Amino acid sequence: MRFKRFKIVLTTLLVCVFFMNASWAQQPSCSAALTSISADSLLQHLQELVGKKPIYIKDSAQFIPSRFAFHPGNALAAEYISQKCVSYGYAVRNMQYSQTGQNVIAEKRGTQFPNKSVVLCAHYDCVGSSHAKFQGADDNASGCAALLEAARVLKDINFPYTIQLAFWDEEEMGLVGSKNFPSSGGGLPEIITVINLDMIAWDGNQDSLAMIHVTPSLPQSIAYATRIQEVLKQHNLALQPFVKNPGEPNTDHQTFWNRDIPAIGLTEDYDNDFNPHWHRFSDSIENLHIPYFINMSKLAIMGLCELAQDALTQLPEPKTASYYAIYPNPAEHQICFNSSQKIVYVSIYNALGKLVFEQNLLATQDDCIAQSLPEGLYFVRLLGLNQSTIQEKIWIKP
Ligand SMILES: [Zn+2]
């Protein structure tokens, strides 16, 4: 009897654990993570990165004297970042690509699509000299602090997609770190999109403008910018989004645009409120706008959290649905489109919302794709060059 009861209890427990895991995997709570983002913690990362507070490497207290590429403090900063991400439970790659250059990549594998990833990145080096101790507080300790806070508050959430937190070296030398990062191969998951943070703590005119950089050559980057604006609204963040199209090229999202990866940049206002302390000794923690920095960090972390949950499946509602037709329905091996706008991307989801087919294409009138999916109900989604999307239910029969 005891044994039998034990078995029933054990089975019930296992079933509960299974369902709890399944629901966690499907619905990580970004809202809960948002409430864990702490101003104190963000400031702590910032003060450690600029050498105002000690870091502890092998239990000995040290200060990061500078993050300038050719200063020994640069490698110490990489060690600090790496150690912090390991302490949060991430798998960390220290990717040394030259005598002086090292990227640090913290990764958490996805539960459903481990080979596809969403990247949040920032460069950790700063301008300076071998002698002067530049803080590089806004450029770009601010972005790195947001990444470290992302690592902390997202550590217990399981996402369908892999997340990569990438800290680049030598951006100030010409995007050298990001250019030396292979986008795939060597066990690296494929990159779906990238959110690059470069200077997120200056708001001199107090207009709370959040600049989102996109490129017209990759319409999906515009779709991701739209998604980030939705995330901003959804979580009631006190920021005013502004999509800069075409976006500023001289920072790490450009590296990914060059590889046809639809990255976006999230920054302070580069156009009408440029930080006067930029690349100067005065780019110090005293000259930052902390409430704005906290909001920008929240947007970046929520952006990563939401995209790692649903990636491409939550594109905006159709804008110009009448432009498209998807046929026939039921469909067999071919699914065709008729459109007055160019279609740049086709994706198909099964009834559970799982992505089962995707293809980039440039289709106009009466183009078809070939597929060999098993019989069932699917959602076919088209992304138009003008950013519009349409989704239709299609029955596929073999
Ligand atoms: Zn920068």
pLDDT averaged over every residue in the chain:
87
Distance CA 382, CA 14 (A): 41
pLDDT surpassing 50 at residue 322: no
Q: What is the largest CA-CA distance in the chain?
A: 77
Tell me if 174 sits within 8 A of 328, measured CB to CB. Answer: no
Of the pLDDT bands very low, low, confident and very high (cuts 50, 70, 90), residue 378 is: confident
Distance 74 CA to ligand 1 centre (A): 15
- pLDDT at position 316 is 42
pLDDT, one tens digit per residue, over 323-337 is 567 888 888 888 888
Residue in the structure block whose two tokens are 């009631």:
236
- pLDDT at position 73 is 94
- pLDDT at position 328 is 85
Distance CA 17, CA 11 (A): 10
pLDDT, one tens digit per residue, over 155-183 is 999 999 999 999 999 999 999 999 999 98
Distance 232 CA to ligand 1 centre (A): 23
Q: Domains, the chain, ranges and CATH?
A: 28-314 (3.40.630.10), 321-396 (2.60.40.3080)
Which of the two residues, 4 and 330, has the higher pLDDT score?
330
Q: Write down the number of H helices and E strands in the chain.
A: 9, 17
- pLDDT at position 339 is 74
Give CA 187 to chain center in angstroms.
19
State both tokens at 264: 């976006």
Which of the two residues, 382 and 53, has the higher pLDDT score?
53
DSSP 8-class letter at 98: S
Distance 177 CA to ligand 1 centre (A): 12
Distance 92 CA to ligand 1 centre (A): 23
The H-assigned helical ranges of the chain are 2-26, 30-36, 39-49, 72-87, 142-153, 176-179, 219-234, 253-257, 290-310
Distance CA 43, CA 104 (A): 21
Distance 172 CA to ligand 1 centre (A): 7
Distance CA 157, CA 274 (A): 36
pLDDT surpassing 90 at residue 341: no
Distance CA 348, CA 206 (A): 43
Please compute the mean of the pLDDT values over residues 89-98 and round it to a whole number. Answer: 97
Tell me if 194 sits within 8 A of 165, measured CB to CB. Answer: no
Of the pLDDT bands very low, low, confident and very high (cuts 50, 70, 90), residue 59 is: confident
pLDDT surpassing 70 at residue 365: no
Please compute the mean of the pLDDT values over residues 267-281 and round it to a whole number. Answer: 96
Residue in the structure block whose two tokens are 């450009």:
254
Distance 141 CA to ligand 1 centre (A): 9
Please compute the mean of the pLDDT values over residues 189-213 and round it to a whole number. Answer: 97
pLDDT surpassing 70 at residue 4: no
pLDDT surpassing 50 at residue 140: yes
Distance 198 CA to ligand 1 centre (A): 5
- pLDDT at position 28 is 53
Distance 122 CA to ligand 1 centre (A): 8
Tell me if 124 sits within 8 A of 144, measured CB to CB. Answer: yes
Distance 236 CA to ligand 1 centre (A): 27
pLDDT surpassing 90 at residue 136: yes
Tell me if 191 sits within 8 A of 185, measured CB to CB. Answer: no
Buried-exposed string 266-297: b where 16+ CB fall within 10 A, e elsewhere? bbbbbeebebebeeeeebbbebbbeebbbbbb
Distance 260 CA to ligand 1 centre (A): 22
- The CA-atom distances, in angstroms, between 304 and each of 193, 228, 275, 308, 312 are 10, 9, 26, 6, 13
pLDDT surpassing 70 at residue 8: no
Tell me if 227 sits within 8 A of 306, measured CB to CB. Answer: yes
pLDDT surpassing 60 at residue 111: yes
DSSP 8-class letter at 287: G
Tell me if 113 sits within 8 A of 25, measured CB to CB. Answer: no
**Coil, helix or strand at residue 258:** coil
Number of Cβ within 10 Å of residue 396's Cβ equals 21
- pLDDT at position 386 is 64
State both tokens at 149: 């806070």
pLDDT, one tens digit per residue, over 23-36 is 343 455 899 999 99
pLDDT surpassing 90 at residue 318: no
Please compute the mean of the pLDDT values over residues 261-267 and round it to a whole number. Answer: 97
- Which of 238, 232, 337 is closest to 294 using CA atoms? 238
Of the pLDDT bands very low, low, confident and very high (cuts 50, 70, 90), residue 251 is: very high
